[in-house]
Chains A and B, each alone.
Chain A
Amino acid sequence: EVQLVQSGAEVKKPGESLKISCKGSGYSFTSYWIGWVRQMPGKGLEWMGIIYPGDSDTRYSPSFQGQVTISADKSISTAYLQWSSLKASDTAMYYCARPLDHYYDRRGPPGYWGQGTLVTVSS
């Protein structure tokens, strides 16, 4: 069974750094792209970027380029989303997502989702 399990909720202060994780299991982690999606409180879904753990090829949505860093450690089947200096406006739920089976391209429909990580940034 394909599973994406994300790290737990975080409460941080503005200016602090943060790295959240998404661990994949039940499939070949290096064969599928993994993307990150932001959902601000009461708002819709926003695609942030995507990584191919096989070779760490990473693409960012223009809105998030330079704001976050996406990485992966294939040895432990885990993808990451990190911030170097958090802002209050980073308060949101963050989801990782993987395409459906047999969709090996980054355009594959995100069909498997993590449970989400709530990040709260407040002084």
Chain B
Amino acid sequence: QSVLTQPPSASGTPGQRVTISCSGSSSNIGSNTVNWYQQLPGTAPKLLIYSNNQRPSGVPDRFSGSKSGTSASLAISGLQSEDEADYYCAAWDDSSWMFGGGTKLTVL
């Protein structure tokens, strides 16, 4: 059971906007920044968003992040078929990184 709670699944059609939530507590999201990762099948996780809303170089601006209190969200606009993947939130908690359980995004 993960410390950070994500919905197990999400879906959308091409072009749609989809959001994925991540709920934590005062010891993780409430007092630290949030990162988001995308994991395509059979590949290593890729950092999509760091420090709540910053995109590493090369990540399209279709991906955006936000945080409020002890919750965070990842939004994907203009959904594309290649966005079908697992998405994980992560936050520092006391002395280690904590990950959410992951959300499987299906593009219908």
Contacts and interface: CB of A to CB of B under 8 A. Distances in A.
Interface of A: 35, 37, 44-47, 49-50, 59, 61-62, 95, 97, 100, 107, 109-111, 113-116
B63 interface: no
B100 to A, nearest CB: 7
B32 interface: yes
Q: Which 4 A-B pairs have the closest CB atoms?
A: A109-B50, A47-B97, A113-B44, A45-B99
Contacts of B68: none
B47 A110 contact: yes
Given A44-B2, A44-B88, A44-B101, A109 B95 contact: no
Nearest to A4: B44
Contacts of A61: 96
A111 B99 contact: no
Nearest to A114: B44
A50 B46 CA distance: 19
Interface of B: 2, 32-33, 35, 37, 44-47, 50-51, 56, 88, 90, 92, 95-102
B45 A109 contact: no
Contacts of B2: 44
Main secondary structure of the interface of A (DSSP, over half): strand
Nearest to B100: A44
23 contacts: A35-B97, A44-B88, A44-B100, A45-B37, A45-B102, A47-B96, A47-B99, A49-B96, A50-B96, A59-B95, A59-B96, A95-B45, A100-B47, A100-B50, A109-B35, A109-B51, A110-B35, A110-B47, A110-B90, A113-B44, A113-B45, A113-B46, A114-B44
Contacts of A100: 47, 50, 56
Contacts of B50: 100, 109, 111
Contacts of A47: 96-99
B44 A115 contact: yes
A51 B92 CA distance: 16
Contacts of A45: 37, 45, 88, 90, 99, 102
